Amino acid sequence: MPLRRFEFFNPSSLSEVFDLLARYGKDVRLIAGGTDLLVQMKQKLVLPQKLINLLTLSGLRGIERDGDSLRIGALARHADIERSTLLTDGWKLLALAAHKIGSPQIRHLGTLGGNLCNASPSADTASPLLVLKAQVCLASGRGERRLPLESFFTGPGETVLEKDEVLKEVIVPKPPVNSSFSYLKLGRRKSMDLALVSAAVLLTVVPGRGSLEEVRIALGSVSPTPIRARGAEKLLTGKRVDERVILQAAEVAKGETSPISDIRASAEYRKEMVKVLVERAIKASLARVS
């Protein structure tokens, strides 16, 4: 399907991007890997008159340690995240999720910023970043602001980004010591598919006692935005877990979701699979505890 004609810009700096956004407003869209936007354009879901290419901004591609945090540029490709040697310990959770995105071709094109700004409830990087308590840095000609990723999504395809703002980087604090993690994704195929349900779990264990000091659970594809399962987290925190408690937490997590029925799965099926994936993800995280 042919694309409608559009004007294409190759800015050399963020300030030039800000100028273009201010000049053209709603008629312009940002593009990086294009794995989501180009599909939407071909399907005539969005018809921008102008595109601003962000891939010319090499300064937004880096992955680096900054004290106890990891800073990931918005233009970091999923393949870069998947292979980065900086993603050790609990940060490996993000590398695991990046590996589950699409095909190798998609992972070498798609960017972290694009995956988040597309704001799909099924975004593979969102749930792991939520349990890692990531923050996003948004930049514009007015300056920068930082906010928790949990506050970034407002609905399917919608974020708090203003018309003149760009997602600059994602800041991921180091997970607590004695933490273990898991990320599970259910699709209709084993690979190269959107998640019907996804679950990310990060557990922090009290040394020598075996009880859970902190529990973080995030779910994808089961609400208008990726969410934290706060009720299930509260139920598990402070407890020594056993089969009964795990099943209770999975049931609570199910009740915290509000999935839709679509061509890929029914809402009822998704809810049941929340129970299954949360149970399995908790057990997989516990199995990682040394």
CATH number (3.20.20.70, 3.40.50.300, 3.60.15.10, 3.30.43.10) of 7-53 reads 3.30.43.10
* pLDDT(290) > 60: no
In the chain, pLDDT over 70 holds for what percent of residues?
Answer: 98
Fold agreement (61-173, 179-288)? no
Mean pLDDT of 173-191: 87
Q: Which residues pair with 159 in a beta bridge?
A: 153
Q: Cβ contacts of residue 45 below 8 Å, gap of 6+?
A: none
DSSP helix/strand/coil, 8: strand
pLDDT confidence band for 216 (50 / 70 / 90): very high
Q: Cβ distance 63 to 80 under 8 Å?
A: yes
pTM over 0.75: yes
For domain 179-288, give the CATH superfamily. Answer: CO dehydrogenase flavoprotein, C-terminal domain (3.30.390.50)
Q: Is 61-173 CATH 3.40.1190.20? A: no
Q: Cβ distance 285 to 181 under 8 Å?
A: yes
Supply the pLDDT for residue 192.
61
Domain range list for the chain: 7-53, 61-173, 179-288
* pLDDT(89) > 60: yes
- E-state strands within the chain: 7-9, 28-31, 50-53, 63-66, 69-73, 135-140, 143-148, 153-155, 158-159, 166-173, 179-186, 197-205, 212-220, 227-228
- At 11, list the tokens: 């800015």
Average pLDDT, rounded, for the chain: 93
Q: What is the pLDDT of residues 101-131, one digit of tens each?
A: 988 899 999 999 999 999 999 999 999 999 9
Residue identified by tokens 């969102």 is 126
- Nearest alpha carbon to residue 76 among 123, 112, 104: 112
Mean pLDDT of 30-54: 90
Supply the pLDDT for residue 10.
95
Supply the pLDDT for residue 195.
86
pLDDT confidence band for 2 (50 / 70 / 90): confident
Q: Cβ contacts of residue 249 below 8 Å, gap of 6+?
A: 217, 232, 235, 236, 278, 279, 282
Q: Which long-range contacts link 42-48 to residues 24+ away (Cβ below 8 Å)?
A: 42/1, 42/3, 43/1, 44/1, 44/4, 47/4, 48/6
